[in-house]
A and B are shown apart, each in its own frame.
Chain A
Amino acid sequence: MEISKIRNFSIIAHIDHGKSTLADRLLQLTGTISERDMQEQVLDAMDLERERGVTIKASAVRMQYAAQDGETYEMNLIDTPGHVDFSYEVSRALQACEGALLVVDSTQGIEAQTLANLYMALEQDLEIIAVVNKTDLPAARPDEIAQEIEDLIGLDAADVLQVSAKTGANVDRILEAIVRKIPPPKGDPDAPARALIFDSHYDAYKGVIAYVRVVDGTITKADTLRLMASRAEILPVEIGIFNPNMQPIDSLSVGEVGYIATGLKTVRECRVGDTVTVAGHGAQKPLPGYKQAKPMVFAGFYPSDNDDYDDLRDALEKLQLNDASLIYEPETSQALNFGFRVGFLGLFHMEIVQERLEREYDLDILATAPSVEYQVVLHDGEVLNIHSPSDLPDPSTISEIREPWMAIEIFTPEDYIGPIMDLVTKKRGEYVSMDYLDSKRVQLKYKIPLAELIVDFYDRLKSGTKGYASLDYHFDSYRPEKLVKLDVLVNKHPVDALAMIVHEDEAYRKGTRLVSKLKRLIPRQLYEVPIQAAVGKTVISRANVKALRKDVLAKCYGGDVTRKKKLLEKQKKGKKRLKMIGNVEVPQEAFMAVLRLDDDG
């Protein structure tokens, strides 16, 4: 395809603002997919994505569009993940495009992450086509929202397209706008080949499939290719395009989007952001912006049943094939035995991984409360990176503990400023600024410790604002804080998996709440079980789980034998999910209690 007839674009939208439905419509209008094959939301391949209404893995589809000017255009829609944890992946996907559709729900208005992604697109000089969606809904305020977009980014409100992806109304105008407004790719067809990897997935037969945008030159199936950051050299198994299924072709030339089946065994050798060139006489300079994914959140994953350890390891290995940002290493806990400390891009990423392990690999996982990476400066000047409270060295050797702080942005109707201020203050946050987006909505900026952000902050923000607030965050800096380790002792034994690092001023409050939560969560045992919270050797809170006195089934006659036996079996099965700590049975929920310390009751 002639480079002037290529259009590469992505869609920037908030969760539920209709990105997937719109993508479906575009595929239908361009005849890329027949009505019969039309599965709702074709682009989201995984069940999990469909259920959560978010896109986890980006995908790229080539469409052929016969425009009103009589020409046929090759359009590449590059999908992007919809969550802040994946902002690096979003930035790479945007880098592969010349334009973006900004899709905003006409009943909701623009949200924090959307704006963050939009700024990212603007920084990369992408042409923006603004679309307000869901105009078919009775609560739609398309003109108002269009005005909001004008106020925010200076696009003329009159140019904002008003569509309904659901009914299809005006969707054709989007295709025309893409042709007219988004510039064709620039690039040197004769330069040594350079292609940007903006996503990848693992295929059992073809190895890692790299999703690429060719920036300069041409890549053919016969070339030996080199990945400039990982230095891997490959002979492609296959080169092709998505339309939307994988279709092999002979070459990909400048400006085009497609895939390279690399034959590589793990996505770690084929990272998002890396540059593909040809081996030998390839490009000298990689494309800008490559970063190694850096996990921000860490949690211990343990199999509920110790016998499943090998299965868990295999499952993590398999997930990692597809998820270069997932890291893990073996970890041993006195309480939970053998498991893994797993690093994630964010809390959302952690939830997805946990769900996939449970759903796709049928594993019962016990996840400890998430932790962040602390920098511990020792008296001798050494700096340790600590991912788990139990790794904290002897306090007498520590000169300083630093924790990661995040800069956050919250978009909210002004009615909820008060509750948000309260929430942020409770979480040790600092106010930065407040700006009105329009007459009713404000943009709040704060700085807040990541450790506070990952513990129920998002849920509380949502519930405190009836779901209206949206959140974006990014790393700000490490700051020294007065942090201490809060130990929990069950039946006088310290339980490593329940320890947490907390601010000194909060230790008493958190310790007391944790103890009272645990008291309710730990079932009564045959003996009284004391539960204590301690900082160093000082016990700051204590409660007793009273001994169980009576549990016996009152009636068991001839008709009851089978039923009662099943009841006992069920009871016993339930117990298998409990972890024995010393001689105390502790349920799974106890290890997550730390996450709900601020719940009422």
Chain B
Amino acid sequence: MFPQLAQQRDNPCARTMTTQPTSMITPPASLALYVHIPFCQTRCTYCAFNTYTGQNNLILRYMRALERELAFVGPQAEAPVATIYFGGGTPSLVPPDAIRSFIRRAGEIVTLLPDPEITLEANPGTVDESTLRDLRRAGVNRLSIGMQSADAGELRLFARRHDVEDVRRTVALARRAGFANISLDLIYGVPGQSLSTWQHSLRAALAMNPDHLSMYSLGIEDGTPMQRWIERGALAAPNPDRAADMIEWATGYLVAQGFAQYEISNWSRPGRESRHNLHYWRNLPYLGLGAGAHGYAARTRYSTVLLPAEYIARIEAQGAPLAYPLSAAAVESEPIDAQTAMTEHMIMGLRLTGEGVAAADFRARYGRDLWDVFGAELAALLAAGLIERTPDDRVRLTPRGRLLGNHVFAAFV
């Protein structure tokens, strides 16, 4: 049922972590590197990320600033880097040369583990075959493509700039360019979406033979056009019951197609879990570079200045050195004490539907027994049928708990 557990044995990064668990005392086995690209051609109607339109002229300076920021922070990294993730925004707007330059510099500044996973988010229709080949040659080995839907009406509602045909073409070109690891994003629980348009989108996605699927239940974020439409009554609010119907259907369908769920919103073929994202959910350290990026390293969570121009200015000015992991772009930082780290470990770790939170790992990381720290909370959730305890002493969500995750996570805050 959960092939990714077995799969870890073939994953060098995962094996390191299970046999040589990280702890608050001993340095972690590896770091992840997140690079935020805050540029977009247009803004999607549901999006509340730190993205900007009309500032594409800043891209090249921004990319140089990223290298500079990494040169500043990277040498003090507490562990070698296992994954790099270019997220956005629309990273596929960045010229492949700049991506290649960054990856090359990264290799000089930090220690890259062998066979690093390097992901880039791409919007369909923004990349041609030569770009894809250049990206592949630059070292990018995983593409996450924002398909969102196969339904023209839904794509219009989202103000996406592509149709399903663009997605097919981009996937086909990427395969030809040598990408063996392709993920597609889909959105469900959309106002006006029916079970049948959802089925149509998911079948269309599967027909493209992706290695990985992220399926996001539409969340209405503050400050987005969609939120305003719903407030004004121009658009119905998402209906959680219908979203539940959709994801329940998708669950059966994907299992039959040879996919396994490994996180609340993420499914993959065996061995194709996102190693970078697993890093987050395992509550392991990562560096965040760029404008409006978040990082968690040396027991500190931090975020950086939001505006790209300000980010560039701060990095170019360099300023007084700050303590690792903060760069000149850092605007917020919060020390994470042991209690907070354990809470976050539960909130993040229970999202992993297959592996969940292992008592052994918990003990190795925090020197405390999981059942001592969270016994009452876990007992209540077990009684409510939202989590289960495995014979190898892990706790993880039950199928019902996967839909009622907030109930579960809230128990730990």
Interface residues on A, range: 20 to 34
Contact of B348 among A549, A555, A556 (CB under 8 A): A556
Nearest residue in A to B283 (C-beta to C-beta)?
Answer: A561
Query: Which of B101-109, B197-205, B405-413 lies at the interface with chain A?
Result: B405-413
Q: Once the chains are docked, how many angstroms separate the CA of A555 from the CA of B265?
A: 7
B406 touches A552 (CB 8 A): yes
B312-356 CB mask vs A (1 if < 8 Å, else 0) is 000000000000000000000010000000011001100100000
- Contact of A551 with B403 at beta-carbon distance under 8 Å, contacts A558-B280, A561-B301, A565-B413 already known: yes
Contact of B405 among A546, A551, A557 (CB under 8 A): A551
State the 3 A-B residue pairs at the shortest beta-carbon distance, nearest first.
A552-B405, A559-B294, A549-B244
B403 touches A558 (CB 8 A): no
Residues in B with CB closer than 8 Å to A551 are: 240, 403-407
Would you list 23 pairs from A and B whose C-beta atoms are within 8 A, ordered by A residue? A526-B407, A546-B241, A548-B404, A548-B407, A550-B244, A550-B404, A552-B405, A552-B406, A554-B218, A554-B265, A556-B347, A556-B348, A557-B280, A558-B294, A559-B303, A561-B344, A562-B301, A562-B303, A564-B409, A565-B344, A565-B347, A568-B347, A568-B413
Task: List 15 extra interface pairs beyond A558-B280, A562-B294, CB under 8 A.
Answer: A526-B384, A549-B241, A549-B403, A550-B244, A550-B403, A552-B217, A554-B218, A555-B219, A558-B288, A561-B294, A564-B347, A565-B343, A565-B347, A568-B413, A571-B406
Which residues of chain B from 209 to 237 have any CB-CB distance to chain A below 8 Å in the complex?
216-219
Which residues of chain B from 252 to 274 have any CB-CB distance to chain A below 8 Å in the complex?
264-265
Contact of B406 among A553, A558, A559 (CB under 8 A): A553
Residues in A with CB closer than 8 Å to B347 are: 556, 561, 564-565, 568
Nearest residue in A to B404 (C-beta to C-beta)?
Answer: A551
B29 within 8 A of A: no
A552 touches B286 (CB 8 A): no
B413 touches A572 (CB 8 A): yes
A569 within 8 A of B: yes
A550 touches B280 (CB 8 A): no
Q: Once the chains are docked, how many angstroms separate the CA of A395 from the CA of B344?
A: 56
Residues in B with CB closer than 8 Å to A561 are: 280, 294, 296, 301, 344, 347-348
A562 touches B334 (CB 8 A): yes
B413 touches A558 (CB 8 A): no
Residues in B with CB closer than 8 Å to A569 are: 413
Residues in A with CB closer than 8 Å to B218 are: 554
Interface residues of A (CB under 8 A from B): 526, 546, 548-562, 564-565, 568-569, 571-572, 575
Q: How far apart are B14's CB and chain A's nearest CB, in angstroms?
A: 18
Q: How far apart are A371's CB and chain B's nearest CB, in angstroms?
A: 36
Q: Once the chains are docked, how many angstroms separate the CA of A546 from the CA of B241?
A: 10
Residues in A with CB closer than 8 Å to B280 are: 556-558, 561
B124-146 CB mask vs A (1 if < 8 Å, else 0) is 00000000000000000000000
Contact of A572 among B217, B277, B410 (CB under 8 A): B410
Residues in A with CB closer than 8 Å to B277 are: 557
Interface centre among B264, B286, B288, B334 (most CB of A within 10 A): B264
Q: How far apart are B243's CB and chain A's nearest CB, in angstroms?
A: 6
Contact of A550 among B216, B217, B294, B348 (CB under 8 A): B217
B294 touches A568 (CB 8 A): no
Q: How far apart are A302's CB and chain B's nearest CB, in angstroms?
A: 24
B34 within 8 A of A: yes
Q: Once the chains are docked, how many angstroms separate the CA of A189 from the CA of B160?
A: 92
Nearest residue in B to A559 (C-beta to C-beta)?
Answer: B294
- Contact of A568 with B244 at beta-carbon distance under 8 Å, contacts A552-B404, A553-B405 already known: no
Contact of B403 among A552, A559, A560, A568 (CB under 8 A): A552
B298 within 8 A of A: no
Q: How far apart are A538's CB and chain B's nearest CB, in angstroms?
A: 32
Q: Once the chains are docked, how many angstroms separate the CA of A571 from the CA of B348?
A: 17
B247 within 8 A of A: yes
Nearest residue in A to B343 (C-beta to C-beta)?
Answer: A565
Residues in A with CB closer than 8 Å to B241 are: 546, 549-550
A552 touches B334 (CB 8 A): no
Q: Once the chains are docked, how many angstroms separate the CA of A591 from the CA of B326?
A: 50
Interface centre among B264, B384, B406 (most CB of A within 10 A): B406
Q: How far apart are B375's CB and chain A's nearest CB, in angstroms?
A: 19
A553 touches B219 (CB 8 A): yes
Interface centre among B216, B240, B286, B402 (most CB of A within 10 A): B240
B293 within 8 A of A: yes
Nearest residue in A to B403 (C-beta to C-beta)?
Answer: A550
Q: Once the chains are docked, how many angstroms separate the CA of A568 from the CA of B219?
A: 15
Residues in B with CB closer than 8 Å to A562 are: 294, 301, 303, 334
Residues in B with CB closer than 8 Å to A549 are: 240-241, 244, 403-404
B295 within 8 A of A: yes
Q: Once the chains are docked, how many angstroms separate the CA of A546 from the CA of B244?
A: 14
Q: How far apart are B25's CB and chain A's nearest CB, in angstroms?
A: 22
B216 touches A558 (CB 8 A): no
Interface centre among A550, A561, A571 (most CB of B within 10 A): A550
B344 touches A552 (CB 8 A): no
Q: Once the chains are docked, how many angstroms separate the CA of A564 from the CA of B346?
A: 13
Nearest residue in B to A564 (C-beta to C-beta)?
Answer: B347
Q: How far apart are A461's CB and chain B's nearest CB, in angstroms?
A: 30
Residues in B with CB closer than 8 Å to A556 are: 264, 280-281, 347-348, 351
Q: Once the chains are docked, how many angstroms separate the CA of A591 from the CA of B361?
A: 46
Q: Once the chains are docked, how many angstroms separate the CA of A554 from the CA of B218?
A: 7
B34 touches A558 (CB 8 A): yes
Q: How far apart are B384's CB and chain A's nearest CB, in angstroms?
A: 6
